[in-house]
Each structure stands twice: as structure tokens, then as C-alpha cells.
Amino acid sequence: MTANQESIILLDGGTGRELEKQGASIDPPLWSANAFYSNPDIVKEVHKSFINAGASVITTNTYALTRYHLSNAEKQGDQVALLDMAYSQARQARAETHDGVRIAASIPPLSESYRADLVPDNTALEKEYELLIDRAIHNQADILLGETLSHAREARMIAKIAQKTTIPLWISFTVNESGNLRSGESLEETATELLDLGVKVLLANCSTMQNIHKSMSIYQALATAFDFQYGAYGNRYNEIREDYKLELKSTELKEDLSPALYTDAARLWVEKGATIVGGCCGIGPDYIRHISQNLPV
């Protein structure tokens, strides 16, 4: 059976922008974590909106629950409680909609997104990724999703720590114009290292359609030598500026990227062998529904 004939695993879309649409602030420094202080049930409703659109995997709203973002808001003491709240909202959403939905624990970059130059040292990575993965295990996540990673060191550390659990690990990179890591490291070489470590699912996310197309070609070539699943979930941004910081609020959505055009891009990924697709920043339930109705999910 070819990848095109298989059912595609359909992920959810971007939580932060959907929270904003439903009335929550995503202002820095807390971004998507603001909802936990204003109205946590909005998080549950966003999860439900993606499930109702056809997603079979939802991602916890834990992306901003790192010491870096919480410290900037002087909320670092709330980290564990907020992590547990995020998992609770995801479980409630599943209970109120579809028991078969899987919950992916978002294991994010520990400082700014897209900034390989700001990735902490290995000691700091290990300390916090241990905490994030421990809370995912405690809350019975179905998948560990290391996402929007820009440097191979992040992926290596997550893979190392994840070896202590049987929860499946998915690793996803945000990629540059050549389809490689934003650090400049080779996606092919990094992916090969991770596959040798036993990682079975590799993705590209929070990048432009064009960048992701190139990453899918790299994964497709690797699939001739390794047995693994791969896929993608892009964003609705233009290319990210090199000096990006959340506080700059510099990412505007591409209004001309319609659900139909996004589905066309996802179809190209599937034609390159992708078996997991979804969306990231700016990709709402209407986009996920369009994929659900037009691809074999």
C-alpha cells in the first residue's frame, strides 16, 4: 500500500491564534498561556473545535509554559500547576467529544521560537526537558511532541530523556529556505542521527509551505534507507525575520493562504510520502476541516 492510499493522521492547528479568535489575549510575555489566568475553559473549547473539525491528535497548550516565558511574567512558580492544567483541559476536551483522539504533549523550544542562536546550554536543556517530559508522563500523554525545534541539540536532548518512557516520541523542526534546520545544520544528517537513536516519527512545522516542501523531499529520500513516518504542519506566516522575538509581535498572517490552498500544499506533502499532516500558527479549524474533507484521513 502506498502512502497516498493510507489514512493520514490529521493533527490539529495553531492553538494560540485560535485562542485569540475566541477572546483570549495572546500578548507577550505569556502568549497562549494567558488563557489559563483569564478563562481556562477557552483552551478546552479550542481543543474541541479542532476535534470537531476532524483532528485525531490534539496538542497540549504547553508551548509557552517554559521557565523563559513564565519568568518574563514573574509566574515561574506556577509552571507545574499550569502544565497540569493544560493536560486537564485536553483530557476534558477529548472526554466531551471523541475518546479515540490522542493527546500530544507539546515539548517546545525553551526560549524564543525560531532562534537557534538562543538555545540554552545542555545543562539547562536537560533540567527543563526532564520536567516537561515528567509532567507529560504523569498526565498520561499519548505522544511526546518535540516541536518547532531549530537546533539539533534540542532534539538530541529530548530523544535522550524520552528513552525512559514508552510514550511514542515525535520530533519536529522549524526549517529554513533550504529545508534544513534554522541553525544551518543539515536536516538529513540530524534526522539520520535521530533515526539511529530510535526515533520513529520526524516532522517539519511552523515554517512556510515552500520550506516544508523541501524538507519533505529530504525525508522522502531518507525513507529509502530508514523505516519511519514523517509529515508536516505549516504556519500561515511569511518567512520569519532573523531577529524574531515574541515581544516584537512581528508575525502577520498571510490572508491569501486559504484552506483550499493549504490543503493543496498538504496534498503535495502526502504525495512525497507524508502520513501525518496538520497545521501550526494561523491554521484554524476551518483549515483542518478542509483537509479532513479532501485527503484520506
Q: Is 283 helix (H, G, I), strand (E, B) or coil?
A: coil
Characterise 23 by phi-psi region: left (phi > 0), alpha (psi -120 to 50), beta (else). left
Give the dihedral of Cα atoms 231, 116, 83, 73; nearest 10 deg.
Answer: -140
Q: Which pLDDT score is estimated for 260?
A: 98
Average pLDDT over residues 240-251: 79
Average pLDDT over residues 286-293: 98
Residue 5 has pLDDT above 60, yes or no: no
- Rounded to an integer, what distance in angstroms lies between the CA atom of residue 151 and that of residue 170? 15
pLDDT digits (tens, 9 = 90+) for 207-222: 999 999 999 999 999 9
Residue 270 has pLDDT above 80, yes or no: yes
Q: Name the band, by pLDDT with cuts 50, 70 and 90, for residue 250.
A: low
- Rounded to an integer, what distance in angstroms lies between the CA atom of residue 212 and that of residue 20? 26
pTM score of the predicted model: 0.96
Residue 2 has pLDDT above 70, yes or no: no
Residue 246 has pLDDT above 90, yes or no: no
Burial of 123 (0-12, 13-18, 19+ CB in 10 A): exposed
Among residues of the chain, what percentage have pLDDT more than 90? 91
> Which cell numbers in the block locate residue 86?
493544560
Average pLDDT over residues 4-32: 91
Q: Which pLDDT score is estimated for 4?
A: 41
Among residues of the chain, what percentage have pLDDT more than 70? 98
Helix or strand holding residue 169 (H, E): strand 169-173
Q: Which pLDDT score is estimated for 253?
A: 86
When the candidates are 3.20.20.70, 3.40.50.10490, 3.20.20.330, 3.30.200.20, the CATH number that belongs to 9-294 is 3.20.20.330
Q: Give the residue extent of every domain in the chain.
A: 9-294
Listed range (44-58, 86-100, 174-188, 227-241) with the worst mean pLDDT? 227-241
Name the one residue in this structure whose C-alpha cell is 508536516: 232
Q: Name the band, by pLDDT with cuts 50, 70 and 90, for residue 251.
A: confident
Residue 7 has a CB neighbour count (10 Å cut-off) of: 10
